[in-house]
Amino acid sequence: MRVLIQRVASASVEIDGEVISQIKQGLLVFYCAMKDDSVQQIPPMARKITHLRLFSDSDGKMNNSLLDVAGSCLVVSQFTLAADLSRGHRPSFSNAAPIKLAECLYNTLIDELRSYCPVEAGRFAADMQVKINNDGPATLWLDFQ
């Protein structure tokens, strides 16, 4: 599983000009299921995401988690995170999970995250416009085995 996590002051997802989800302070989680991923990876990944210390404490150090600041998650599926750019100029997406597995894992991640915090989500496999008010910026890449 691969995620790109951005600390945000706010973020939203639009489809066809309509806002379908939005959050204020929290984490924007771009999620990509890889071909060898399984449902068993979801609970520890959700715990990791929600417990990452990415938010500033009173001394300005990143010591607080999403839970400490009562933040939210916005989860967006993004299969392009599976891109292999090692050859040529056209990305290969052969490492991405098949669509049915990817959708199942995406929905399972959303459900698991909801056991920790408020969660909004994009629409799986949709053409979305994601608006990000990146805070910091603070952006992390997480490959989860």
CB neighbours (10 Å) of residue 3?
Answer: 21
Q: What is the pLDDT along the chain (145 residues), one digit of tens a residue?
A: 999 999 999 999 999 999 999 999 999 999 999 999 999 999 999 999 999 999 999 999 999 999 999 999 999 999 999 999 999 999 999 999 999 999 999 999 999 999 999 999 999 999 999 999 999 999 999 998 7
Q: Which residues are catalytic?
A: 78-80
In DSSP terms, 26 is beta-bridged to 8, 72
Q: What is the CATH number of the domain that holds 95?
A: 3.50.80.10
Q: Containing H/E element for 119?
A: strand 119-121
CA-CA-CA-CA torsion sign (13, 143, 141, 95):
negative
Count how many domains the chain has: 1
Kindly give, in sequence order, each residue whose CB lies less than 8 Å from that of residue 39, ignoring residues fewer than 6 positions away.
104, 105, 108
The dihedral region occupied by 114, where left means phi > 0, alpha psi between -120 and 50, and beta the remainder, is alpha
pLDDT at 36: 94
The single residue listed with the structure tokens 């404490």 is 57
> Taking the chain, what is the end-to-end CA distance rounded to the nearest angstrom?
7
| pTM given for the model | 0.95
pLDDT at 144: 80
Q: The domain containing residue 118 runs over which residues?
A: 2-143
